[in-house]
Amino acid sequence: MSRWLALAAVVALVAAPWLMARPPEAPPADARRLIVLTPHNEYVRLEFERAFAAWSRRELGQAVAIDWRTGGTSDLAKLVDGQFKAAAKRELRVDLGAADAAVAGQAKEALAASTLGIGADLFFGGGSRELGQLADKGYLVDAGIAALEPAWFADGAIPARIGNEALYDAKGRWYGVSLSSFGVCGNVDRCAEIGIATPIAWTDLGDPRLVGQVSIGDPTKSGSIAACYEMIVHSRMTAAGGADAEALDAGWRDGLTLVKRIVANARSVNDGAGRVVRDVARGEAAAGMVISTYGRLEAEWSARESGGRERLVFREPEDGTSISPDPIGLMQGAPNRDLAVACIRFALSPEWQRVLCYRLGVDGGPARHALRNLPVHRALYGAAHRAMRSDPDADPYALAGRFQYRKEWTGRHFALIRSLIKAVALDPRPELESAWKAIVAAGGPDAVPEAMAEFAWLPFAYRDADEAKKPPSDDPLAMRVRLREWSEEARRRYAAAERLAKAATR
């Protein structure tokens, strides 16, 4: 009997993690299914589906299930664009991607007048920039939430703006559900081993002592990572004063040089923002850039695994972070439009807003996973909710007032910035890294100014950015050719920087 009891104990021990990690029970056979495109992580998806299913049973008398289609925001947006263009050609005989603006406009009108869709109901998550672009192409449509819940769209609830960022689309095509900022994360133990403080500012990621110790992401694959790079450039333009063309040029150059230093310090380049912070949490990298939601979540999980000891630190640089909404939008031709609209109403309801920010175990909070999100409803930052929130001191509305984000500086060049970084930093990364290591070995940037001048080369100044993003010809491949030319010139410059730095040490 004792042997059987011992065996049963072993089986229970082995099975426990599997039992705890089991997915939720399968929905009933009569459940209506929503197809939702999302970059959200597993924990947000699990909590949202659980809470929405309960709300739907109570409010709609309907069993529901969500069919999640996951990926990075940029990749999902490209998928939506490609599928709509293909469907429009096939079903409507129109070309949404026509080079001629008039032809493309007529195609967009034909799409709007139709019920054509791509089989998806909602796009949930990502950035307002990406969803705004999808909306402008006609792929997201008015869900009518402002008319259904007018009391929610007031300054005391969901204001129209936070800083210079809109919190919902004026035409109702997307609505911010939660708020995100951007910042740096550091592994306390790894930073101590290196002999540096955990990072608190963007400039810390460019520290020469962090060579091979920074985890970064590809801005062409992740919208949140691209926003981090934009914030880095914007912060240096702010530091330069930005009062005139010369100051803006200087800040642009300083910002992109800092980006190069960070890329040269990289241990790895990830496709998604979640992977960056996990590298840091595991100690595979000492520091990284991350969106606030992932940073706070990983900090909590790491502390829990370490018995409450702080192992991962997340900080929002006060000189360079903006607050932006994480939105949801109704897809054109959604097969379950009524249920999709109800889902948006739930996402904006006080019920889900509390789940986003309340601590685990608090009444009205999450069931299994604290989400550490910042809700869009302003009332939840009041004293009545403070004790229940996972981050009682976090207030994105106050943070937005401390940093002035000027969209006209970098926001209008967002796509150009991500392509430029890919061309002059990520594609020639081996040469960039070799040049940086030679500069560091020679005593650092100040010791070898000529080498650093080559390292800091850019294909154009800020004042020429508008011209640089115009395709050089009507050839659809012309821009790719230009980007390849920038990469080739960057490789030559980094080789020259390496030679100069090494010559200075002889």
Domains and CATH numbers, the chain: 32-178+324-394 (3.40.190.10), 182-321+407-504 (3.40.190.10)
Q: Which of 47, 94, 54, 313 is nearest to 197 (CA)?
A: 313
25 band by pLDDT with thresholds 50, 70 and 90: low
- Cβ atoms within 10 Å of 238's Cβ, excluding its own: 19
With H, G, I as helix, E, B as strand and everything else as coil, classify residue 138.
Answer: coil
The residue-averaged pLDDT of 497-502 equals 98
The residue-averaged pLDDT of 138-148 equals 96
pLDDT at 17 over 80: no
| pLDDT in the model for residue 319 | 66
CB 231 within 8 A of CB 319: no
**Weakest mean pLDDT among 10-19, 73-82, 109-118:** 10-19
| pLDDT in the model for residue 4 | 41
19 band by pLDDT with thresholds 50, 70 and 90: very low
Helix, strand, coil % over all residues of the chain, rounded to 5:
55, 15, 35
204 band by pLDDT with thresholds 50, 70 and 90: very high
Tens-digit pLDDT profile for residues 336-356: 999 999 999 999 999 999 999
User: Could you tell me which residues come within 8 angstroms of residue 428 by beta carbon, excluding any fewer than 6 positions away?
Assistant: 487, 490, 491, 494
Q: Give strand ranges (E) for 292-441.
A: 312-315, 324-331, 374-375
Cα–Cα distance between 27 and 234 in angstroms, integer? 47
Whose tokens are 């934009």? That residue is 230
323 band by pLDDT with thresholds 50, 70 and 90: confident
79 band by pLDDT with thresholds 50, 70 and 90: very high
pLDDT at 157 over 60: yes
Q: What is the dihedral of CA 302, 306, 307, 308, to 10 degrees?
A: -50
The residue-averaged pLDDT of 190-205 equals 95
Structure tokens at 24: 């939720």
User: Could you tell me which residues come within 8 angstroms of residue 156 by beta carbon, excluding any fewer than 6 positions away?
Assistant: 378, 379
What CA–CA distances, in Å, run from 125 to 44, 71, 84, 472? 10, 11, 19, 34
308 band by pLDDT with thresholds 50, 70 and 90: confident
The residue-averaged pLDDT of 294-311 equals 85
pLDDT at 302 over 50: yes
Rounded to the nearest integer, the mean pLDDT of the chain is 90
61 band by pLDDT with thresholds 50, 70 and 90: very high
Structure tokens at 200: 């608190």
pLDDT at 2 over 70: no
Q: Which of 355, 353, 330 is nearest to 34 (CA)?
A: 330
The CA angle 53-55-56, to the nearest 5 degrees, is 65
pLDDT at 1 over 90: no
CB 360 within 8 A of CB 369: yes
Beta bridge partners, 429, equal: none
